Amino acid sequence: MPHSVEAEQGVLGSMLISPREIIAECVEKINEEYFYFAAHQTVYTVLVELWNAGQAIDLITFTQVLRDRNLLESVGGVAAVTSLFTFVPTAANVTYYLEIVREKYILRQIIAACTESVRRAFDEQDEVHGLLDEVEQKIFSVGEDRFKGQVLTMKDQVMEAIEAIEQLYERRGGITGIATGFAELDRMTNGLHEGEMIV
């Protein structure tokens, strides 16, 4: 199955060495299911729980939490946790590691969806149109995952709205888009704007 142990370790190492800055970005883009290895899923889950609780995260505290929860040996022991802390020198490239982890996860999801679809098609027990609908839905849901983490924050949306209002104020009744040549249409739409489709 598609995976990248190095990218997964890069994400976890980045989370460990710069938890305050990096964990928020990781939580927006991935969850524990994105990791191929169960040990990495466990490390990610515990890190996010500690971060959500506002607890300090460093080698000693993290190792102790794993030990207290009887998870230390299941993630590879103290040596494995220590190696995650030293795997990357800096968290500067975490965005690239996240993208690799996401891509490998999506590939695994595609394989799983297609394998199940092929099995069911060979069974010939399902009604064709119903099976086709299910296959389309599975592939569509895998495709939706590409956009996770690309949602605008409330702050970004408010700033965008403020900029639009400022533009309208500066133009004082003038159009903000491209004029159509139809004065009444331009007045109602403020002209044609990028990303809009007016019929």
Is residue 109 predicted with pLDDT exceeding 70? Answer: yes
H/E stretch holding 157 reads: helix 154-171
pLDDT digits (tens, 9 = 90+) for 8-33: 999 999 999 999 899 999 999 999 99
CATH number of this structure's domain 5-94, picked from the four choices 3.40.50.200, 3.20.20.70, 1.10.860.10, 3.30.300.30: 1.10.860.10
**Among 78, 17, 71, which Cα is nearest to 43's?**
71
Distance CA 69, CA 187 (A): 65
Tokens 């394989």 -> residue: 111
What number of residues does the chain have?
Answer: 199
Confidence of residue 173 (pLDDT cuts 50, 70, 90): low
Is the pTM higher than 0.75? The answer reads no
Distance CA 127, CA 93 (A): 48
**Among 46, 52, 49, which Cα is nearest to 72's?**
46
Is residue 149 predicted with pLDDT exceeding 60? Answer: no
Predicted local distance difference test score (pLDDT) of residue 146: 63
